[in-house]
């Protein structure tokens, strides 16, 4: 089902996302039967991730065989690598939620043209919610225009995040961040799918979002939704180049600024003085044998 109002490339991405969503919904009817394997500790992949990704790639390359693919599971092995047009795909963001039957997960598809995100689709198959954006044309949820929230005070705001969950994640650093944000907000949420978190910021359901360790396919589509809905996205110091930096903060403009003021000192790009002050602050937990306190995670 295509919409005449959508950019042609976005129409194809919507078709791809819905095809993937149908595969995910069928598998969700008997999630106990889904084969699961671990890429690393707490980092799961299922046959549904692979089937969903294959459906997306087949649809996109069927329409645009000269475009490149950058996908979570298959990497950069499909399409014409070196193309100006690169599709960035997360076929099932929130896999851990999915394999537990916890209904918060989505398909995320973005088109990057000469290094800039120009098209975005996030599809939530459990609610049949479709989030779309074309650069310069606004962001939409189920064909209704989205705007970020109008809240201006962080103390009245709902903020979403993601917890570190893999060996190598800097857990103490995150706990300090969480404490700093939590004590200044109306609430902190961890839904478990970063792409959907960003879509919810764009829709105004959340006022802001922050997370470390994210990969480009987690944030590419959601970042365009946020900016086209009137919000801001960047790294923890507020720089707009964040796609491959493994730290992301988003929000309506006023809340974004307040989050950057809190999170900036935790950034890998923070000043030497800020980093030294963090190192001297007390540890909140003793690191487990399997968690290296100063390594980077990846989600």
pLDDT digits (tens, 9 = 90+) for 106-151: 999 999 999 999 999 999 999 999 999 999 999 999 999 999 999 9
Taking alpha carbons only, the member of 199, 251, 169 closest to residue 94 is 199
- pLDDT at position 273, please? 57
- Average the pLDDT over 228-257 and give the result: 95
Domains and CATH numbers, the chain: 8-145 (3.30.540.10), 154-280 (3.40.190.80)
pLDDT per residue as tens digits for the range 6-45: 899 999 999 999 999 999 999 999 988 888 887 765 567 8
Interval 149-186: pLDDT, tens = 999 999 999 999 998 766 666 788 889 999 999 999 99
pLDDT in tens, 196-242: 999 999 999 999 999 999 999 999 999 999 999 999 999 999 999 88
Per-residue pLDDT tens over the stretch 265-286: 999 887 665 655 655 555 554 4
Give the model's pLDDT for residue 6: 85
pLDDT for residue 295 is more than 90: no
The pLDDT score that the predictor gives to residue 4 is 56
Among the residue ranges 232-236, 250-254, 293-297, the one predicted with the least confidence is: 293-297
Instruction: Round to whole Å and give the CA distance between 219 and 248.
Output: 8
Q: What is the pTM for the complete model shown?
A: 0.89
């Amino acid at each position: 089902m295509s919409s005449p109002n959508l950019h042609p490339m976005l129409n194809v991405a919507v078709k791809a996302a819905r095809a993937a969503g149908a595969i995910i919904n069928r598998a969700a009817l008997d999630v106990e039967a889904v084969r699961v394997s671990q890429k690393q500790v707490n980092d799961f992949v299922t046959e549904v991730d692979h089937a969903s990704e294959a459906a997306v790639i087949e649809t996109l390359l069927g329409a645009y065989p000269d475009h490149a693919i950058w996908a979570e599971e298959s990497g950069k092995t499909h399409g014409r690598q070196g193309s100006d047009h690169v599709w960035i795909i997360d076929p099932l963001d929130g896999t851990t939620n999915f394999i537990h039957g916890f209904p918060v997960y989505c398909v995320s598809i973005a088109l990057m043209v000469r290094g800039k995100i120009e098209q975005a689709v996030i599809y939530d198959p459990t609610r049949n919610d479709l989030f779309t954006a074309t650069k310069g044309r606004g962001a939409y949820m189920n064909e209704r225009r989205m705007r970020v929230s109008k809240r201006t005070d962080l103390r009245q705001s709902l903020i979403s995040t993601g917890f570190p969950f893999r060996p190598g994640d800097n857990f103490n650093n995150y706990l300090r961040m969480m404490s700093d944000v939590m004590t200044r907000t109306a609430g902190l949420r961890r839904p478990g799918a970063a792409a959907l978190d960003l879509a919810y910021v764009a829709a105004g359901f959340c006022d802001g979002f922050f997370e470390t360790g994210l990969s480009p396919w987690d944030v590419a589509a959601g970042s365009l939704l946020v900016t086209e809905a009137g919000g801001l996205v960047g790294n923890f110091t507020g720089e707009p180049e964040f796609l491959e930096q493994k730290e992301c903060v988003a929000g309506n403009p006023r809340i974004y600024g307040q989050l950057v003021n809190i999170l900036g000192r935790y950034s890998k790009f923070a000043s030497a003085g800020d980093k030294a002050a963090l190192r001297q602050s007390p540890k909140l937990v003793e690191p487990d044998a399997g968690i290296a306190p100063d390594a980077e995670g990846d989600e």
